[in-house]
Amino acid sequence: TVLVLGSANADLVVAVERRPAGGETVLGGDTVVMPGGKGANTAVAAGKLGARVALLGAVGEDGYGSVLRTSLESAGVRTDLLRTSARPTGIAYITVTPDGENSIVVAPGANSDVSPADVDASSAALRSAAVLVCSLETPLSTVEHAVAVAARAGVRPLLNLSPVAQLSSETLAQLDPLVVNEHEAAWLLGEPTAEVNGAEDGAEVDGAEVDGADLARRLLALGPRSVVVTLGARGAVVATPQGVHQIAAPTVHAVDTTGAGDAFAGALATRLGEGDDLVPAAEYAARVAAISVTRSGAQPSYPTAEEVDG
């Protein structure tokens, strides 16, 4: 079983001709409501691939919470560990201009309310999972507690360090793997770039194409048991004490890379949960993420196992 600890958000998307300045009102198109949040996306990616998966998190007692529960359940994700909070469901308010650029305000709401006590209340499910997958749209203290419980129980903890945060050395030492994109990698290594969060594919660090193998090797030296650095259209690099492996990305026509990192994490966890080694699991994850970028949206773009194999 895969246990995902993470966020569930409703993405409210509206197309606008231009973004309003302070004090200004502009009219937009019709609101499109999309299920999102890194935790829910990761869980749906795993569910669609056929994993036995549950999401540990929280939504509000409102219509968006129901939308999220329904989308999770229709992807085969168990929601019995998804608590209903007194705070509103997390919402991302997204405006999109004709040039395709997004402006996003995230109201974390119920996601901020996921606590170490929630982890303890789900400890039987956590301790019987094969893999724990976390990301950081839920509180860092909760994630660090879950990683510690997982590690003590022999559950493999995977952390997608997004959005980036400073981890304790104890947490870092348990991760197997730490998963980061190249901007998050640079930030962890003390080389912050302007685009740490929401960075685009193929972006460069300090104007030069980064050496993913070098990043992965240096991250491994910070203490995690293994590292995966995702590199957008350039694939990924896996680093373990046994060595460094390049993972090629299939060449595809990308139309929307939203949620590609979450697809990668969900697929990676699915395969690790089935007992694959990290390198073949990452090769599979790259195939899954490549399919996801050829379709629009996050969760609706994720493939089933049949689509990946076919």
| Helices 63-74, 38-48: inter-axial angle, 10-degree rounding | 30
Is 39 one of the annotated binding-site residues? yes
Of the candidates 191, 201, 274, 276, which one interacts with ligand ADP according to CB under 6 A?
201
Q: Which two tokens stand for residue 81?
A: 């560990």
Which of 49-57, 88-96, 165-173, 232-240 is the region at the interface with ligand ADP (rule: CB under 6 A)? Answer: 232-240
For the chain, the maximum distance between any two Cα atoms, rounded to a whole number of angstroms, is 57
Which of 62-70, 163-171, 217-225, 253-261 is the region at the interface with ligand ADP (rule: CB under 6 A)? Answer: 253-261
Q: How far apart are CA 304 and CA 50, in angstroms?
A: 7
Instruction: Check residue 94 for interaction with ligand ADP (CB under 6 A).
Output: no
> Is 262 in the active site?
yes
Nearer to ligand ADP, 266 or 273 (CB): 266
Instruction: Check residue 181 for interaction with ligand ADP (CB under 6 A).
Output: yes
Backbone angles phi, psi at 196, to 5 degrees: -55, -45
- CB neighbour list of residue 182: distance below 8 Å, 6 or more residues apart: 199, 203, 205, 210, 212, 215, 229, 230, 231, 232
Amino acid at 191: E
Of the candidates 233, 244, 279, 305, which one interacts with ligand ADP according to CB under 6 A?
233
- Which of the following is catalytic: 113, 118, 176, 262? 262
CB 228 within 8 A of CB 268: yes
Which of 151-159, 211-219, 251-259, 270-278 is the region at the interface with ligand ADP (rule: CB under 6 A)? Answer: 251-259
Q: How far apart are CA 105 and CA 14, in angstroms?
A: 12
Q: How far apart are CA 134 and CA 277, in angstroms?
A: 19
**In Å, what is the CA distance from 247 to each residue of 161, 219, 259?**
19, 17, 19
Residues 116-175 that bind ligand ADP (CB under 6 A): 162
Nearer to ligand ADP, 254 or 279 (CB): 254
Of the candidates 249, 268, 269, 278, which one interacts with ligand ADP according to CB under 6 A?
249
Binding residue numbers for substrate:
9-11, 37-41, 137, 262
Task: Please give the residue ranges that form the binding site for ligand ADP (CB under 6 A).
Answer: 162, 181, 199, 201, 230-233, 235-236, 249, 252, 254, 257, 260-261, 264, 286, 289-290, 293
| Residues marked as catalytic | 262
